[in-house]
Amino acid sequence: MKDEVIYESWRDTKNLYFNDEDLIAKIKNTGAEIFICEGDNVKKNVIERTNLKIIGSTRDDPNNIDVVTATSKKIPVIFAPKRNTLSVVELAVSLILALARKLHVVDRTLHSKAFRVEEFTDYVKYYNMFKGIEIHGKTVGIIGLGAIGIEVAKRLVPFGVRILVFDPYMNQERLKQVNATSVPLDTLMAESDFITLHCPPTDETEGMVGAKQIGLMKPTAYLVNLARASVTDEAALLAALKDNRIAGAALDVFSNEPVDYDNEFLKLDNVIVTPHIGGDTIDTNNRHAMMMVDAIEQILQGKVPPNLVNPEVLGGTRPAKPAAPPVSEQSTLLELKKKVVDVCSKLAQKGYVVATAGNVSARVKTGDGSERYLVTPSTKDYSSMEPDDLLLVDGTGAVIEGTRNPTSERMLHIKVYQARPDVHFIIHSHAPFSTVLSIARTPIGPFVDEIIPFIGGCNVAEYGEAGSEELAENTVKALGDNYAVFIANHGNVCVGVSAEHAWRNCELVEFAARIQYHASQLGTIYAIPEEAEARAKEIFEIMKETQKED
């Protein structure tokens, strides 16, 4: 191998390679044999058309690398487990302390134009406004006692707090280390003065801290979220903060990222907003860089590094995954059914479906690792849909559970899920303006510049008969990597990583379709400049990455 090193940080170039051809050209032009990246997509096409010998992902989860293809070509894939754990831990503790002492209120007030101390009464007013609390003697609830949660707990112990934990898969030894008490989720929500979330985004945790749980919180309690927005009911949390039903929150993650000026939480004085910077430290960068260097050195010496995803390519073996503890799949399925029913209700209220037209589905992961799909029935009015009306089907569309007839479009949903591992929820609606454009075979063009960063684009799939394999394949092809597609004469299909995400995309598409339709009635409509469209698409790719687990 050559010993030349070319270093180009995306922080400096402000560019990530999501397009296969661009990345292939870059690798070939530089003659690179080792490629280390953080967010660039190194997928099958890239691996097969380049001469890479080692691939590195500076992430805890190397989901930006096609490990299967790399393994088939005997290419080692290295990654950076727990690279940012300490950074996230320290930010979580910092935010708890900042909330307790109202540092955000102090800082904003002192920097505001209204701040004046001209009389002693002014000083007293601010002194009273800035009165905080100690965390000593308070109760801290930790949701998720994994790698990050346990380290947060360890750092809180010296403050003399009482620690409550909710984690169905908790290691009892960890609980003893921090003298914590395991309690049900509702108990933790009701008794804690500070609640901090450190659980992964899964089907089971989606919406786990919902309106009911938030309603249990003390009016003096605070919530800290450095996990994922999908763990909470974001709308319910926003409402509680607006109404001062809870004391405040510190949030680093949101359903719509990156954070922009229109984020509703930025308008609230009782919220600390940080733009997904939990792991953004010099130390994280140094740590994952040295993990890459050490692993490459070991590979060149004929050794098998511990942070190798596929040790079998070097003669090693993958450690056996521990058996998952038993979970209540029926309980998880019921919660997912409620989300589907909720979306059905919204579709009916908005007039996006008429009677039984349209369909909704959700991906279901079972305890044995197989996949099933929750789908709506074909003969049920959406305004009266109930959880028991839904059906569970397998990858062939066969019914596993349920008594009604499943939607005839179920194969369309299944094909999308199989082509897009990032998609967990699909909505097919006959929203009026989307249907008009689908009949006219008119895609959403680059006219409304706020839309592209969120959905990527909305093309039109070629016509196919309802329920046919042809329609399913046409839809997958036209959807591509975007979050929305029109299907000829059939309205729109909007997808997302969660129910909330898919519903937001559905509303955005109909909004854009309405604007485009009305604008077309005035005559010629003008697209945004090509460079602006290109930037919008770059933002879309970055936003897609933020939906993935880091």
- Give me the pLDDT at residue 170, please: 77
Q: How far apart are CA 425 and CA 502, in angstroms?
A: 6
Q: How far apart are CA 215 and CA 209, in angstroms?
A: 10
Q: Give the strand pairing for 222-225 and 248-251.
A: parallel
- Give me the pLDDT at residue 490, please: 84
- Give me the pLDDT at residue 518, please: 82
Tokens of 473: 């394949």
Cβ atoms of 434 and 399 within 8 Å: the answer is: no
- Give me the pLDDT at residue 526, please: 47
**Structural fold of domain 10-83+282-314:** Rossmann fold (3.40.50)
- Give me the pLDDT at residue 532, please: 45
Amino acid at 242: K
- Nearest residue to 501 via CA among 534, 544, 533, 461: 544
- Give me the pLDDT at residue 449, please: 53
Q: Is 228 a catalytic residue?
A: yes
Q: How far apart are CA 129 and CA 360, in angstroms?
A: 49
Angle between helices 103-111 and 85-100 (to 10 degrees): 70
Q: Is 276 a catalytic residue?
A: yes
Q: What angle do CA 35, 39, 45 make, to 5 degrees?
A: 60
Nearby residues of 108 by Cβ (< 8 Å), 6 or more positions away: 269
**307 to each of 56, 79, 295, how far by Cα in Å?**
10, 6, 7
- Give me the pLDDT at residue 356, please: 56
Amino acid at 222: Y
- Give me the pLDDT at residue 550, please: 38
Choose, from 59, 83, 276, 501, the residue flagged as catalytic.
Answer: 276
Q: How far apart are CA 413 and CA 419, in angstroms?
A: 10
- Nearest residue to 19 via CA among 37, 43, 35: 43
Question: Is the pTM above the cut of 0.85?
Answer: no
Q: What angle do CA 388, 394, 399 make, to 5 degrees?
A: 45
Residue 239 host element (H or E)? helix 234-242
CATH 3.40.50.720 location in the chain: 10-83+282-314, 85-273
Nearby residues of 344 by Cβ (< 8 Å), 6 or more positions away: 353, 360, 376, 382, 385
**32 to each of 53, 55, 292, 440, 518, how far by Cα in Å?**
9, 10, 16, 47, 51
- Nearest residue to 460 via CA among 447, 445, 441: 441
Q: How far apart are CA 296 and CA 443, in angstroms?
A: 47
- Give me the pLDDT at residue 452, please: 66
191 three-class SS:
helix
- Give me the pLDDT at residue 173, please: 83
Cβ atoms of 231 and 127 within 8 Å: the answer is: no
Cβ atoms of 165 and 145 within 8 Å: the answer is: yes
Residue 375 host element (H or E)? strand 371-375
Q: How far apart are CA 281 and CA 216, in angstroms?
A: 35
Cβ atoms of 141 and 178 within 8 Å: the answer is: no
- Nearest residue to 16 via CA among 384, 544, 547: 544
- Tokens 């955000």 locate to 104
Choose, from 174, 228, 410, 413, the residue flagged as catalytic.
Answer: 228
Cβ atoms of 298 and 54 within 8 Å: the answer is: no
Mean pLDDT per block of 10 residues along the chain (550 residues) reads: 78 85 92 92 92 93 88 94 94 97 93 90 89 96 94 96 90 87 94 95 84 96 95 95 97 90 93 94 94 94 92 78 40 83 91 79 76 88 88 88 86 92 93 91 70 79 84 91 89 92 91 83 56 48 47
Q: How many residues does the chain have?
A: 550
Choose, from 49, 155, 257, 514, the residue flagged as catalytic.
Answer: 257
The CATH H-level superfamily of 85-273 is NAD(P)-binding Rossmann-like Domain (3.40.50.720)
> Which top CATH class is 329-546?
alpha beta
Transcribe 131-164 into DSSP letters. Answer: -----TT-EEEEE--SHHHHHHHHHHGGGT-EEE
Q: Is 500 a catalytic residue?
A: no
